[in-house]
Amino acid sequence: DDKLQDKYNQIMVDIMTPVYESLNKWGDNDDEKQKKDTERNDVFRPLLISSMAKYGNKEVVNDILNKFDEFIIKKDSNCNIPDALRSTIYANAMRNSEDDKRYTAMKE
C-alpha cells in the first residue's frame, strides 16, 4: 500500500534528520577536527545521505541532483565531491533522474 509506504518513509526521515543535521549535512561547515574524522566523513555521512535519499527526503535528493549536475554535467571546477560521497551521489542521481541527461553524461 502506497500510503503505508509513504508513512514509513516519513518516519525513517524523521528519525534520521537529527543525525543528518548533527553531521552538518554535507560537511560544508565542518571545523578542522570534524574534517579529520574519517568515520564521520567516510562512513556516517554517506550512509545518512544515501538513506535520506532512499526514503525520499526531497532536500537531500535535490542536493544530490544539484551536486551531480555541477560536477558531471557543468564540469564546475569549484564543485568538489569527496571520494566517500561519489558513489552515493552518482547512484542516487541515476535513481532519481526523470530524464536521460544524467545517464548520458555518465557515459561520456
> Long-range contact list for 53-58, CB < 8 A, 24+ apart?
53/88, 53/92, 53/95, 53/96, 54/92, 55/9, 55/10, 55/12, 55/13, 55/16, 56/9, 56/13, 57/13, 57/17
pLDDT tier for residue 19 given thresholds of 50, 70 and 90: very high
pLDDT tens, position by position, 47-83:
999 999 999 999 999 999 999 999 888 888 777 888 8
Burial of 78 (0-12, 13-18, 19+ CB in 10 A): exposed
Contact yes or no for 95/57 (Cβ under 8 A): no
What is the pLDDT at residue 50?
Answer: 96
Provide the CA 43 distance to its chain's centre, in angstroms: 13
Higher pLDDT, 40 or 104: 40
Over the stretch 23-42, which tens digit does the pLDDT of each residue have?
A: 999 998 999 999 999 999 99
Reduce the DSSP state of residue 107 to 3 states and report it: helix
Please count the residues of the chain.
108
- Answering whether pTM is above 0.85, one says yes
The set of cell numbers assigned to 43 is: 562512513
Residue 58: its pLDDT value, please? 96
Query: Can you tell me the distance from the alpha carbon of 103 to that of 49, in angstroms, rounded to the nearest whole number?
Result: 21
